[in-house]
Structure 1
Amino acid sequence: MQIKKMLQAGVFAVAMATAIPATQAASYPDRPIRLLVGYAPGGPVDTTARVFAKYLGDKLGQTVVVENRAGASGMIASDATAKATPDGYLLGFAASPTLTISPLVQKSDLFDPRKDFTPIGMVVDYTNVLLVGPQIPVNSVKELVDYAKTHPDAVTFGSAGVGASNHLSAELMKQQADAPMLHVPYRGNSPAMMDVVSGKVTFMFDITSTAIPFIKSGKARALAVTSRERNRELPDVPTMIEAGVPDYEVVGWYALMAPPKLPDAIKQRLSQALKAVSNDPAFQKAMLEGGYTVNDGDSKAVSARIAREYAMWEKVIKSANVQIQ
């Protein structure tokens, strides 16, 4: 009789343990949601996250508050997301380099991007563009590669720093083209761009949204975009593949991430809201004006992209012997 009572108590306890999350999920969200951003206010990740947060909040019927936790190339915020309570009230707005490059370059064991999150879905893609200064005597990627091969000590490329996505984008081109090119790291994109414009460095990769003003003003020349398709804002600029670098595709992205073990009901609610944001014409217009393309990929698409790009950058980093300084 005592054993029967213990079994009944155990069943009741299990039922209560599962009923509580179910109740919480049914009322989710009933208070503001925090959206962690791993970069300082005012940058492209932060400004995009703030626009996204407004639309996500509208779809959920609840306020979504952006919280900046800058540091370690976004990994501090992502680590906080990975270790948060999985109740849907703390989410991460993750930039692709934080999940596919930074853990490799910094040799971090804070989190494994391939298994320590519950991906909700993609938000946007963004394209990089290969830029040279007006003084550089090349007009195509092929001419740049040929120039590097015939002038092995003359071609340099700038970046936002060792291990930055635009550094590795150039290393990937260097490896695929088998051409000598010297990396010149800077403390951020802006000083690197200034030296491209002045001709102190030969070229650099930059995101389309910040590169376009330099291209339109004639201060820099675009040789190629890194996406598989041409960019709508630069329709006359070929892709790297069209320019003669086979299989070269580097597309950055932002995704909505949650802690591991997020209840399915909450994940489904967030996925539905994210889909509604992606389909909102006003959001699409805002992203296009910012140089982005809305991507409505689901959680499986995020996981697949992380796995594929993590493996790709791991090979590039090892081959180039990239080490954080």
Structure 2
Amino acid sequence: MIMRLRVLGALVVGTACAVGPLQATAAYPEKSIRIVVPLAAGGTVDMVSRLIAKGLAEELGQSVIVENKPGASGLIGTRDVAKANPDGYTLLAVANTFVSAPAFVPNAGYDPLKDFAPVTQTCQIPMVLVANPSVPQHTVKALIEYARAHPGEVSFGSSGVGSTGYIAAELFSRQAGIKMLSVSYKGNAQALTDVVGGQVMMIFDQVSTSGPYIKANKLRALAVTTSTRAVSLPDVPTVAESGLPGYEDVTFNAILAPAGTPEPIVAQLHKAIAKVLSQPALRDQLSGQGIEVKVSDSPEAFGSYLEQAAKKYSGIAQRPAGS
């Protein structure tokens, strides 16, 4: 009888241990969720994150707060999230910078493939090369010819080495065999403001944020960075068809969690974000700004995408100028 009670007791304890973590996961979320945007407010990552946060709050029944932590091309906020408790309550909103920065910046402070749990891609945005209207070069071909004749005189703005705009410009200059002057800012919004003001000649920026300035004739669109023309800018040629064959660079946005976040929570977040981004009104709102909703099939699929992106940027960083 005593032995039977001991066996039953062991079974009860074993069952409790097995069910406990599942119940804890099933209860997620029990408090507010924080989405860290490692960039200044006003950019596409910030805007999309706030739309997702609003939808997630309704979907998960808890408040979802967006916190901006700009600096060092997104490295500061990204490092903070890498060290956060992997419990699903701290997430990271990123763009290409997340993968590209470690390839270009020594001691970036994190590994994009080892220090984070992929959740999902959220959207992709064509980029556009825009210049201040006072810049006399109206085409990519003319710009390249001028830059070759005047090394280091063509200035471009970005939110720092390894940032989305910096990578697009770096890829452009290396393929064209030119040297340009990089002017760094804490955030892309500030860089764009200085291009509009004429302090900097040009910028590779997302269509979603440059679009209003293009329409108001405050910026001149020279070319888009995608392989085909952007739906929102049908009259603007691609860089490839404007004198630099083979050029292509597309920006993506995504959500990640710290490495070690339980898989059931990651799966729950993926499902919830996918549902939020499937709403027709939200998709139309983003589409109207040149942003295409693009959700990964699964966290694993997004992980594979990140691996390929890391290889791409590593290759660009190691490629000599003009190659």
TM over 0.5: yes
CA distance in structure 1 between the aligned counterparts of 2:182 and 2:108, rounded to whole angstroms: 28
User: 1:313 aligns to what?
Assistant: 313
Report the 3-state secondary structure (helix = DSSP H, G, I; strand = E; otherwise coil) of the residue aligned with 2:79.
helix
Whichever residue aligns with residue 24 of structure 2, its letter is Q
Query: 8 Å contact 1:171–1:320 — kept in the other structure?
Result: no
CA contact (8 A) 2:130 2:202 kept: yes
How many residue pairs get matched?
A: 315
Find the aligned partners of 2:141 and 2:39 in 1 and give their Cα distance. Answer: 35
Measure how far apart 1:6 and its partner are.
11
* Structure 1 residue 166 displacement after superposition: 1.8
Q: How far, CA to CA, are the matches of 1:79 and 1:262 in structure 2?
A: 16
1:239-291 per-position Cα deviation (integer Å, ceiling 9, x unaligned)? 22333423322122221111223323222221211111121112212322444
Contact 2:39–2:68 under 8 Å retained in 1? yes
Query: Aligned-pair distance for 1:203?
Result: 3.2
Query: Unpaired segments of 5 or more residues in structure 2?
Result: none
With structure 2 as the length reference, what TM-score do the two structures score? 0.83
Hey, what's the Cα distance between the residues in 1 that align with 2:316 and 2:134?
A: 30
Provide the C-alpha distance between the structure 2 equivalents of 1:146 and 1:276, rounded to a whole number of angstroms: 48
Residue matched to 1:240: 239
Q: Is the 8 A contact 2:121 2:255 kept in 1?
A: yes
Listed as ranges, the matches of 1:121-136 within 5 Å are: 121-136=120-135
Q: Is the 8 A contact 1:157 1:170 kept in 2?
A: no
Residue aligning to 1:148: 147
Displacement of 1:74: 2.5
Query: In the alignment, is the contact (CA less than 8 A) between 1:119 and 1:258 conserved in 2?
Result: yes
TM-score, structure 1 as length reference: 0.82
- What is the one-letter code of the residue matched to 1:50? R
Matches within 5 A, 1:293-304: 293-297=292-296, 298-304=298-304
Note closer, same or farther for the CA distance 1:31–1:161 as it changes in structure 2 (3 Å cut). Answer: closer
Alignment-derived partner of residue 282 in structure 2 = 283
CA distance in 2, matches of 1:9, 1:36: 45
Decide which moves more: 49-58 or 64-73. 64-73
Matches of 1:243 and 1:160, distance apart in 2: 22
Deviations 1:18-51 (A, max 9, x none): 4222111222223322222223444443333122
The answer to whether 1:207 aligns with 2:206 is yes
Deviation per residue, 1:31-88 (Å, 9 max, x gap):
3222222234444433331221011222223321223333333233323333333332
Question: What whole-Å deviation, never above 9, does each CA across 1:173-209 have from its counterpart, x for those lacking one?
Answer: 111122x332141435466556655766553212212
Q: 1:10, 1:116 → 2: CA distance?
A: 37
Q: What secondary structure, in the 3-state scheme, does the structure 2 residue paired with 1:70 have?
A: coil
2:94 corresponds to = 94
- Counterpart amino acid of 2:254? A
In angstroms, what is the RMSD of aligned CA positions? 3.2
Aligned counterparts, 1:244-259, within 5 A: 244-259=243-258
Query: Are residues 204 and 67 of structure 1, via their aligned partners in 2, closer, same or farther at CA, if it must alter by over 3 Å?
Result: closer
Instruction: Mark the CA change 1:9 to 1:118 in structure 2 (over 3 Å): closer, same or farther.
Output: farther
**AA paired with 2:181?**
H
1:74 counterpart letter in structure 2: G
1:72 maps to 72
Q: State the distance in 2 between where 1:52 and 1:34 align.
A: 12
Q: Deviations over 1:83-115 (max 9, x none)?
A: 333332222222321x21233333235321012
Q: Which residue of 2 aligns with 1:84?
A: 84
* C-alpha distance 284-157 of structure 1, shift in aligned 2 (>3 A): same
What are the superposed Cα offsets for residues 105-154 of structure 1, whole Å, 9 maximum, x if unpaired? 332353210122111101121222112333444443233323434x2448
The code of the aligned residue for 1:78 comes to T
Q: Secondary structure at the match of 1:108?
A: coil
Whether the aligned pair in 1 keeps the contact of 2:52 and 2:273 (CA below 8 Å) is no
Where 1:31 maps in the other structure, the secondary structure is coil
